[in-house]
Structure 1
Amino acid sequence: MDNPLVNAFFIGRALAEAIAKQTETALSDALSELGKFDAEQRERLRQFTEEVLEKARQEREASVQAQPASTSSYAPASAVDADLQTIIDDLRAEIAELRAELQRYRSRIQ
């Protein structure tokens, strides 16, 4: 029963099973690390978004406090419209920057 072909068969089968197990372990570890990386990036993006929103809130509050309390002063409609248009343009520029950053983030993930 010491047939070398039978021994080679069993050795080959054991080797194939060991390689399959190692490959499975390596693949699951790699996918786990990828999942961790994705979760960390999403958390960083969430924190960044919160920081931006908090800063915007603080600036808005500072702006409101800096405005005169009296509503009796009259500002021409054209000045108010120009200020509003400037704010809208600034917000659109920030949105474009955030979209570009989000696009870069998504392209790195894929």
Structure 2
Amino acid sequence: MVHAFFIGRALAEATSEQAERLMTDALSQLGQFDAEQRERLRQFTEDVMARAQAAEAAVVQNPDGSTGSAMGNDQDLQATIDNLRAEIAQVRVALQQYRAS
């Protein structure tokens, strides 16, 4: 009877140590995963911001390389929008004719 008590006690201690080790490893891996994800998010954010700044700089610069207002680009953009609207209207007319036939 005494022998069974000590076996049970040893089993409980070993099981407790094993559970503690597994829990520590799991929390360590979770912390490592969290740190890696935060680093990836930080790098992604920096990449997006760098791309946005590069695109903004390309739009703001004049052809001679100096920075300034993008007013000339606004007129070109408006002309492009007008052309696209005209093309869309032509496609709609062609689609209606196709559906009618």
TM interval, short-chain normalised: 0.5 to 0.7
Deviation of 1:41 after TM superposition, in Å, equals 1.1
Provide the identity percentage: 8
TM-score in terms of structure 2 length: 0.61
Deviation of 1:20 after TM superposition, in Å, equals 0.8
Runs of 4+ in 1 over 6 A off after TM superposition: none
Q: Indicate the residue corresponding to 1:91 in structure 2.
A: none
> In structure 2, the residue corresponding to 1:66 is in which secondary structure?
coil
Deviation of 1:38 after TM superposition, in Å, equals 1.0
* Structure 2: stretches of 5+ with no match in the other structure: 85-101
Deviation of 1:81 after TM superposition, in Å, equals 2.1
Which of 1 and 2 has greater Rg?
Answer: 2
Among residues 48, 63, 66, which one is paired with 2:63 in the alignment?
66
Q: Indicate the residue corresponding to 1:45 in structure 2.
A: 44
Deviation of 1:54 after TM superposition, in Å, equals 0.8
Aligned residues: 75
1:12-56 CA-partner distances (Å, limit 9, x unpaired): 000011011001101100110111111011101100111101101
Deviation of 1:66 after TM superposition, in Å, equals 1.9
Tell which has more relative contact order, 1 or 2 (C-alpha 8 A, sep 6+).
1
RMSD: 3.2
Q: Indicate the residue corresponding to 1:36 in structure 2.
A: 35
1:44-87 CA-partner distances (Å, limit 9, x unpaired): 1100111101101111122xx228x9x9xxx9x8xx327x86xx
Q: Does residue 10 of structure 2 align to residue 11 of structure 1?
A: yes
TM-score in terms of structure 1 length: 0.57
